[in-house]
Amino acid sequence: MTFTTGENVGPYRITEQLGQGGMATVYRAYHPNLDRYVAIKVLHAAFKEDSNFLARFQREAQIVAKLEHPNIVPIYDYNEHHGEPYLVMKFIEGETLKARLQRSPLTLDETLKLMTTVGQALTYAHERSILHRDIKPSNILLEKGTEPYIADFGLARMASLGESTLSKDVMLGTPQYMSPEQAQGQSDLDAGTDIYSLGVVLYELVVGRVPFNADTPYAIVHDHIFSPLPLPSRVNPQVTPNVERVLLKALAKDRADRYSSAVDLAAAFRSAVEADGLKELSARQYRVPLSSEAVATPPFAAGVVPAGPPSISSPMPSPSRTPGEGGSLAERYERQRRRKNLWMLGGFAGLIATCLAGMFVTVSAFSDANIRSGLFVPRPTQAAFQVTATPTKVTQTAIAVAPTTSPINILRAISNPESYVSGQPDDPLGHFALAASLYRDNKPLRAQQELFEGIRLARSNPHLIFDVAQEAEKSLDSGTGAPAILYTTAYGLGASNDPQIRDEAGQYLYTAASNVRRRDAIFLRWVGSAASETKSAGLYAFLALANQTLGQADAAQEALQTAIGLDANLAEVHLVHGILYAAQNDPDHARAEFGAAESAPDAPGWITEEARAFLKKGT
């Protein structure tokens, strides 16, 4: 529902719509009894699907309304209009910082004033255990062009209280200004997340652009979590060393390494300016477009980067592959939910659930003594890793022994991955080797970055990615998400042309989708992103199954319909369609779909067995 111009909302008369965002629409309204204008924000209707949402929203609004700081936009009122919750706030006559920056950058004096004022307001709120969660230029208002106000305090928190589809599926926050821990969906946020966002604002003010930007929200979020901060002085040479140190500390990936308060950040910036004797430091002096060097290259060509692999702190055993187990459908699914071999992928939210703290991929588990002393430490009794890819050209300087025509032998022989990658930056083998080396050196963030670069470079050879996935499944510790990432990528890129990829990667993904749990929401993000990029009917089918396992019937149907539209005759699509029909207590249609899956001429063996098991045991 939206309000219309001239409509009375309580004692307020709507005069115009000022804007609309991902969470709310804002209107200007007139209060005749007090003869003043106010701003009214109404949350999108999807946020109130939870029956308890309105009560929770009101409690949170009451907490935020207690903030009484001269530079925080106050909340005057909370109420409902035809069941729609809305907030009434002070109307600021002026413009947002975002609008101001679109006209012209701030001067150094203006930046110092803004940082000091906003820092004090944020610290005031943090001392009362209230976070903003969405600090960005569009939430900083400049009254009459000079006096800063922080708007929308706690709105992201209020919205996230609802259990609506919207609050689960959209990113509550703005990707360009989102802290790594917020992007990962962590629930224990503290002042550090607002300090990081304020650091991004400061970076934009003095450097001339935000540190990370890309074509998709997932790509931006990925960079905040994993990519090194583009050095401010390399983007804008006017940035001095002391100012650069302030930005590096404010934007540290680990919140424990950031400033302890927003006031401290503002004070450190002022001290740096004074220490360097700066009279001016502004993007007015030097403004550059986003450099391609600063953006992490996604594994998919179109730039769709899923939120990342799971945290190494959460074990993720490989899915147990037991298609065709007996029992009724209900018994089978109950057994699947209780299995110990689950994908333990950290969740990402709203926007997104938990993204990753780091990951790696190891691509060998060999008995060769040379390898034991080199990059990879094999697990005993593991089979050798076989690769059937095209040989890759290498130089002799970065390898321990002369390579053979087998890429895996080249991989084995890389003794100095850093040097190898430097000399052969377009060879995926070097990046996979470097990822393993970095993980061994306890540098998981860089390791993950190298893994994605290896995937990007190997996308024209999905069987190589598949081979790496097989070895990762056998030999990696359960805390890594490498098998999930690699199998999904290999399936999306190669299943239509490679029966082995379709068979084995598909079975892995089917089992994982059957066992996914709510905390594993990153699985949905990854498979969904890969499905969207590759237009893979099979991946959309697995996405539908994962949503069905989570009890998200509408999302499951939407993904399934997309799969049907892409390839209605695919065995994977028939199998999942049958499962969804069975869940809807429609046994006739379920049997028809299982029969179609069983009889599909190109169906992998595991699909045939699974369909027969469903038919034999009943639906």
Helix (H, G, I), strand (E, B) or coil at 426: coil
Q: Which residues pair with 20 in a beta bridge?
A: 25
Is 498 catalytic? The answer is: no
Residue located via tokens 């994993």: 226
**C-beta separation of 537 from 570 below 8 A:** yes
Calpha distance 245→269 (Å, rounded) = 9
Q: Which residues pair with 81 in a beta bridge?
A: 84
Token representation of residue 552: 């998200």
Calpha distance 132→155 (Å, rounded) = 7
Minimal CA–CA distance to 362: which of 346, 339, 382, 378? Answer: 378
**C-beta separation of 345 from 316 below 8 A:** yes
Q: Which residues pair with 36 in a beta bridge?
A: 31
Specify burial of residue 129 (Cβ count, 10 A radius: 0-12, 13-18, 19+).
exposed
Calpha distance 180→202 (Å, rounded) = 17
Calpha distance 492→575 (Å, rounded) = 18
**C-beta separation of 402 from 372 below 8 A:** no
Outline where 137-238 has alpha helix (H): 155-160, 165-169, 180-183, 191-207, 217-226, 232-235
Calpha distance 561→568 (Å, rounded) = 9
Minimal CA–CA distance to 511: which of 381, 383, 609, 586? Answer: 609
Minimal CA–CA distance to 512: which of 349, 336, 327? Answer: 336
The active-site residue, picked from 35, 77, 134, 426, is 134
Helix (H, G, I), strand (E, B) or coil at 14: strand
- Element containing residue 409 per DSSP (H, E): helix 407-413
Q: How far is CA 101 from CA 119, 153, 209, 463, in A?
A: 19, 22, 10, 48
**C-beta separation of 457 from 465 below 8 A:** no
Q: Rg of the chain over CA atoms, in angstroms?
A: 27
**C-beta separation of 530 from 305 below 8 A:** no
Outline where 292-394 has alpha helix (H): 329-338, 369-372
Residue located via tokens 């052969």: 424
Q: Which residues are catalytic?
A: 134
